[in-house]
Amino acid sequence: MPSPQFIQLHREDDAALRQELAQGLLGQPASVSPKFLYDALGSRLFDAITELPEYYPTRTERAIFDAHAPAMAALVGPGRTLIDLGAGSCEKAARLFPVMQPARYVAVDISVDYLRQALASLQRQHPGVEMLGVGADFSSALELPREAGGGERLLFYPGSSIGNFTPEAALRFLRQARQEGGAGGALLIGVDLVKARPVLELAYDDPLQVTAAFNLNLLRRLNALLGCDARLEDFAHVALFNEAASRIEMHLQARRDLTLHWPGGERRLAAGERIHTENSYKYTVGGFDGLLREAGFARTTCWTDERRWFAVFLAS
């Protein structure tokens, strides 16, 4: 049984990461990049979120793939290198294997331990597909290693992870994705669409409080990576739809006046003050199509569900 090759491009104990975290905490307002939400526990909590009845994106995107994957595959053609950006459990890509028939699968994620496990298990189920794992942080630049290989590439970016970028940063990312795709490359991307506030806010603030646990896990990461002394019980999970910016925002709100300390720094937070932890931008079909074209994709096809809650675009 082949075991997947793995390449590690980023380091978790980096001084630069500590500086990035400290800088974010000292900002006005305080913020922490959503990429820090994902360690092995964060990835498992995210997977639990996708099972929640309130979290419509995963279910809706899956229904779009179930209905239209053959049409997508007909446009893409078999034998591609399927490059899964932010692969997580690798489940979405794995469901596409039978219809897309990739020659090679490259899974990229910042949550390295979780990705290693997911990929090893996937390789056992698909011994005939060559697989490569890449531990990478693509928040500032998407640069695939040489080992990702040549051939015709299909970049896969599901789950509306593109929504974690501001529209300007999303445009930069899409341009890099087009470049990394190379000649004959294509991008298959899932995008969450604008909808009524209650539906959006419930999806990011479920009564079982799994999303709250996912958000609060960030404080454990702050403590582990930065040596911070945050107490989880001092913070509340807040999720709100900022309609003007067309984004769901997640915050951690201080329940009392407090000071966070870490080696070389501190941050006072008044009761009610927040640490901004994630944005999830919501697009219209026309708006996202325009972004793809601005990024240099000449041909786009879009599939949505009946309620037009979610969209999958194929761009080349």
Ligand X SMILES: C[S@@+](CC[C@H](N)C(=O)[O-])C[C@H]1O[C@@H](n2cnc3c(N)ncnc32)[C@H](O)[C@@H]1O
Site for ligand X in 238-297 (CB under 6 A): none
Q: What are residue 252's DSSP bridge partners?
A: 237, 275
Cα–Cα distance for residue pair 111/137, rounded to 1 Å: 9
Q: Which is nearer to ligand X, 114 or 254 (CB)?
A: 114
Is 112 a binding residue for ligand X by CB under 6 A? The answer is no
Q: Which is nearer to ligand X, 110 or 144 (CB)?
A: 110
- In angstroms, the first-to-last Cα distance of the chain is 35
Q: Look-up: residue for tokens 């793995």?
A: 6
Is 123 a binding residue for ligand X by CB under 6 A? The answer is no
Closest CB 312 distance from ligand X, rounded Å: 11
Cα–Cα distance for residue pair 118/114, rounded to 1 Å: 6
Closest CB 138 distance from ligand X, rounded Å: 4
**Contact range with ligand X by CB under 6 A, out of 67-75, 85-93, 197-205, 270-278:** 85-93
- φ, ψ of residue 206 to 5 degrees: the values are -80, 150
Is 219 a binding residue for ligand X by CB under 6 A? The answer is no
Q: Which is nearer to ligand X, 86 or 269 (CB)?
A: 86
Q: Which is nearer to ligand X, 130 or 137 (CB)?
A: 137
Is 137 a binding residue for ligand X by CB under 6 A? The answer is yes
Cα–Cα distance for residue pair 192/205, rounded to 1 Å: 17
Of the residues 4, 76, 109, 252, which one makes contact with ligand X according to CB under 6 A:
109
Q: Angle of helix 112-125 relative to helix 40-49, nearest 10 degrees?
A: 60
Name residues whose C-beta falls within 8 Å of residue 170's C-beta, 6 or more positions apart in sequence.
162, 163, 281, 291
Of the residues 31, 60, 81, 111, which one makes contact with ligand X according to CB under 6 A:
111
- φ, ψ of residue 183 to 5 degrees: the values are -65, 130
Cα–Cα distance for residue pair 152/291, rounded to 1 Å: 23
Is 43 a binding residue for ligand X by CB under 6 A? The answer is yes
Q: Is 255 helix (H, G, I), strand (E, B) or coil?
A: coil
Is 35 a binding residue for ligand X by CB under 6 A? The answer is yes
Q: Which is nearer to ligand X, 38 or 297 (CB)?
A: 38
Name residues whose C-beta falls within 8 Å of residue 241's C-beta, 6 or more positions apart in sequence.
197, 200, 201, 247, 248, 249
Pull the structure tokens for residue 259. Answer: 């000071």
Q: How many residues does the chain have?
A: 316
Q: Is 279 helix (H, G, I), strand (E, B) or coil?
A: strand
Instruction: Please tell me the count of residues contacting ligand X according to CB under 6 A.
Output: 20
Is 12 a binding residue for ligand X by CB under 6 A? The answer is no
**Contact range with ligand X by CB under 6 A, out of 99-107, 156-164, 212-220, 267-275:** 156-164
Is 110 a binding residue for ligand X by CB under 6 A? The answer is yes
Q: Which is nearer to ligand X, 10 or 126 (CB)?
A: 10
Is 38 a binding residue for ligand X by CB under 6 A? The answer is yes
Q: Look-up: residue for tokens 């915050």?
A: 251
Which of 86, 82, 85 has the alpha carbon at shortest distance from 94?
A: 82
* Cβ-based burial of 254 (10 A; exposed 0-12, middle 13-18, buried ≥19): buried
Site for ligand X in 50-69 (CB under 6 A): 50, 58
Of the residues 55, 56, 65, 138, which one makes contact with ligand X according to CB under 6 A:
138
Q: Which is nearer to ligand X, 92 or 269 (CB)?
A: 92
Residues that bind ligand X (CB under 6 A): 35, 38, 43, 46, 50, 58, 86-88, 92, 109-111, 136-139, 158-159, 161
